[in-house]
Chain A
Amino acid sequence: MKPFTYERATSAQAAAQAAAAHPNAKFIGGGTNLLDLMKLQIETPAHLIDVNHLGLDKVERTEDGGLRIGAHVRNTDLAADKIVRKDYAVLSRALVSGASGQLRNKATTAGNLLQRTRCPYFYDTSKPCNKRKPGSGCAAIGGFSRNLAIMGVSDACIATHPSDMAVAMRLLDARVETINPHGITRAIPIAEFHRLAGDTPHIENALQPGELITSVLLPKPLGGRHFYRKVRDRASYAFANVSVAAVIGDGFQHFAFGGLAHKPWRVESAEREQGADAIGAAVLAGAKTTPQNDYKTMLTRRTLGAVLREARA
């Protein structure tokens, strides 16, 4: 790791101010992704701001019947929270389908949203990568692309967002609450939080410099039956090839997809269609595949079909 200085922040705004005051600073929560990348010198912060002691570790009902999830609630605790298990089961299911027990014990809600891609060329510092080094090119396009994106891709990047949790958050219309160095707060709809790669794949979300996530807000429960079906190369502890989050109730259905794009993928207009083929066709409109990852279109339709069958059962 490159040398860095370290401080433990005592309030959310102080953390944001510290980030604004230090060039090349990073917040550290669970650290399970950041430290991995620092060891490989893909991330090289000069200053780390530990945000684990800000009291942002609670899951609470909001006045409108929704839920406020503290930014640093661990993935394990969020998946096990009684309200989440009962009313937002798709979120519990998504969380426990990701990573390992050890990692979920450390990884935080905010950190999970900010996870970086596992594209092999992002990790391989001997290869060009527009996300790691803007303007250097993309070794993934024309390379080993089996697990990479088919939706919303650009000529600069075909990386996927690796999170399962974020797929459920997208389905649930979560909002990401933040504070900036001036103490100004805002709530960013999850649909606008993650960005497509476009020609700036190194910019992955809507956060401004120094802006700190303080919580994630969920609207009141949808009801219905909740599913998270993840297809991967191993039975456990692997990133998704394709995943389908679904909440299906009386007269409504919502879907969001992982493993397809640079962000959790959701096409609201597709939710008016019926059946896996029609929904899948609407979700996958405009897909741009490589010979190695074109299996994902059929896999998406079939995984969706399996979820719909399970919902009818």
Chain B
Amino acid sequence: MNDPNDVTRRTVLAGGAAAAGAAAAPAIAREPAAPRKASSPMIPRMQVSLTVNGQAETLDLDPRVTLLDALREHLHLTGTKKGCDHGQCGACTVIVNGRRINSCLTLAVMHEGDKVTTIEGLGSPEKLHPMQAAFVKHDGFQCGYCTPGQICSSVAMLNEIKDGIPSHVTEDLMHVGFSDSEVRERMSGNICRCAAYPNIIAAIREVQGA
């Protein structure tokens, strides 16, 4: 952390929370939370093995754990965001076996053997995925909370067009092509509260043209 630019949202938030806690509410524990008890002794935990960003993972989970919570809370891949937790906002979008899905609306135990790609698996700060670079270049975000979902969704969405999957705005079902209106329609499952939509479309357009 010698490089002053080497600051992530997480370190800023963690530092800020710690400072606020120290000043205003010293009772807030800063120790790591105690491991959660198995919530019900009646429900056996289950093992699931899957590949996340190219790495084999085996998890021992309560069957209620969603794929989203498995990624964030168990594998500590916090790039994928929890927005609404009901499949309405798209912040939790990840790519499973090549398809974008809402990771909040699927159970981790249903993904035995699956290949999951999260925002962490698309690129890294040193080597951005072209879509990440385009979002930066075109200012495709303000607060950034929806951005990992937007980017995972965009990458998979372009492949859906390439695969000839039609959308609501496709005029001829047999001929599927790229257009701004196709992008707008196909990205409607990713909500941006800051309304960075025009810049998101510009970023996607650039990657499509590259």
- Residues A96 and B170 in contact, CB atoms below 8 Å apart: yes
Chain A residues contacting B156 (CB-CB under 8 Å) are: 101
Q: Counting CB contacts under 8 A, is B110 at the interface?
A: yes
A243 CA / B62 CA spacing, docked (Å):
41
Which chain A residue has the least Cβ–Cβ distance from B109? A6
How close is B160's CB to chain A, nearest CB, in angstroms? 7
Instruction: Bin chain B's interface residue count.
Output: 35 or more
Report yes or no: A106 in contact with B168, Cβ–Cβ below 8 A. no
- Cβ–Cβ contact A80 & B110, under 8 A: no
Q: How far, in whole Å, are A8 and B63 apart by their CA atoms in the complex?
A: 12
Interface residues of B in 55-71 (CB under 8 A from A): 62-64, 66
CA distance A103 to B186 in the complex (A): 11
Kindly name the residue among A35, A50, A89, A102 whose own CB sees the greatest number of chain B CB atoms within 10 A: A102
Q: How far is the CA of A236 from the CA of B183 in the complex (A)?
A: 12
A269 in contact (CB, < 8 A): no
Q: Is B102 an interface residue (CB 8 A)?
A: yes
CB distance from A81 to the nearest CB of B (A): 10
Is there an interface contact between A76 and B110, defined as CB atoms closer than 8 Å?
no
Interface centre among A101, A103, A235, by most chain B C-beta atoms within 10 angstroms, is A101
Residue B101 CB within 8 A of the other chain: yes
Is B42 a contact partner of A97 (Cβ separation < 8 A)? no
Question: Is A85 an interface residue when CB atoms closer than 8 A count as contact?
Answer: yes
- B93's partner among A6, A32, A35, A102 (CB-CB below 8 A) is A102
Contacts of B40 in A (CB 8 A): 3
User: Are B189 and A103 in contact, with the CB atoms below 8 A?
Assistant: yes
Q: Is the CB of A106 within 8 A of B101?
A: yes
Tell yes or no: A156 within 8 A of B by CB. no
**Is the CB–CB distance between B167 and A96 below 8 Å?**
yes
Decide: A101 and B100 in contact? CB cutoff 8 A. yes
Let me know if A5 and B168 touch, CB within 8 A.
Answer: no
Is B165 part of the contact surface with A, judged by Cβ < 8 Å? yes
Known contacts A36-B87, A85-B174; is-contact A102 B101 (Cβ 8 Å): yes
A32 contacts which of B87, B100, B165, B173 (Cβ < 8 Å)?
B87
Q: How far does the Cβ of A225 sit from chain B's closest Cβ, in whole Å?
A: 12
Q: Given A35-B106, A237-B188, 12 more contacts at CB 8 Å?
A: A3-B39, A3-B64, A5-B44, A8-B112, A50-B110, A76-B165, A85-B166, A93-B168, A100-B190, A105-B100, A106-B106, A236-B185
B95: min CB distance to chain A, Å: 10
A residues with CB within 8 A of B: 1, 3-6, 8, 28, 30-32, 35-36, 39, 48, 50, 52, 76, 79-80, 85-86, 89, 92-93, 96-97, 99-103, 105-106, 234-237
Considering only CB atoms, which chain A residue lies closest to B165 in the complex?
Answer: A80
Residues of chain B within 8 A of A92, CB atoms compared: 166, 173
With A39-B85, A106-B101 as given contacts, are A101 and B186 in contact (CB-CB < 8 Å)?
yes
Q: Taking the nearest CB of chain B, how far is it from the CB of A4, in angstroms?
A: 6
Given A80-B163, A105-B101, A31 contacting B107 (CB threshold 8 A):
yes
In the complex, which residues of chain A have a beta carbon less than 8 angstroms from the beta carbon of B173?
Answer: 85-86, 89, 92-93
Q: Which 8 A-B pairs have the closest CB atoms?
A: A100-B189, A236-B188, A237-B188, A6-B63, A80-B165, A85-B173, A3-B40, A3-B43
A-side interface mostly: mixed
The CA of A135 and the CA of B48, in the complex, are separated in Å by 41
- Name 9 A/B residue pairs within 8 A (Cβ), A-sorted: A3-B43, A3-B64, A32-B87, A32-B102, A35-B106, A79-B166, A80-B164, A86-B174, A100-B188
A237 to B66, CA, bound (A): 23
Q: State A92–B189 Cα separation when bound (angstroms).
A: 19
- Complex Cα–Cα for A89 and B173 (A): 8
Report yes or no: A79 in contact with B87, Cβ–Cβ below 8 A: no
Q: B44–A102 contact, CB under 8 A? A: no
A237 to B84 Cα, complex, angstroms: 15
Which of B63, B112, B166, B186 is A4 in contact with, Cβ under 8 Å? B63
Known: A6-B63, A31-B110. A36 touches B105 (CB 8 A): yes
Tell me the smallest distance from the CB of A239 to a CB of chain B, in Å.
12
B-side contacts of A39, CB under 8 Å: 85-86
**Using Cβ atoms and an 8 Å threshold, which residues of chain B touch A86?**
173-174
Q: Which chain A residue shows the least CB distance to B152?
A: A102
Measured between beta carbons, the chain A residues less than 8 angstroms from B101 are 102, 105-106
Residues of chain B contacted by A35 (CB below 8 angstroms): 66, 105-107
B153 close to A101 (CB less than 8 A):
yes
Would you call A103 and B102 a contact (CB within 8 A)? yes
Q: Is the CB of B165 within 8 A of A79?
A: yes
Residues of chain B lying within 8 A (CB to CB) of residue A1: 64
Q: How far is the CA of A196 from the CA of B189 in the complex (A)?
A: 31
Using known A-B contacts A3-B43, A3-B64, A101-B153, determine if residue A96 contacts B105 with beta carbons closer than 8 Å: no
B184 sits at the interface (CB 8 A): yes
Q: Whole-angstrom distance between the alpha carbons of A103 and B170 in the complex?
A: 18
Chain B residue, CB-CB nearest to A77: B165
| Min C-beta distance of B83 to chain A, whole Å | 12
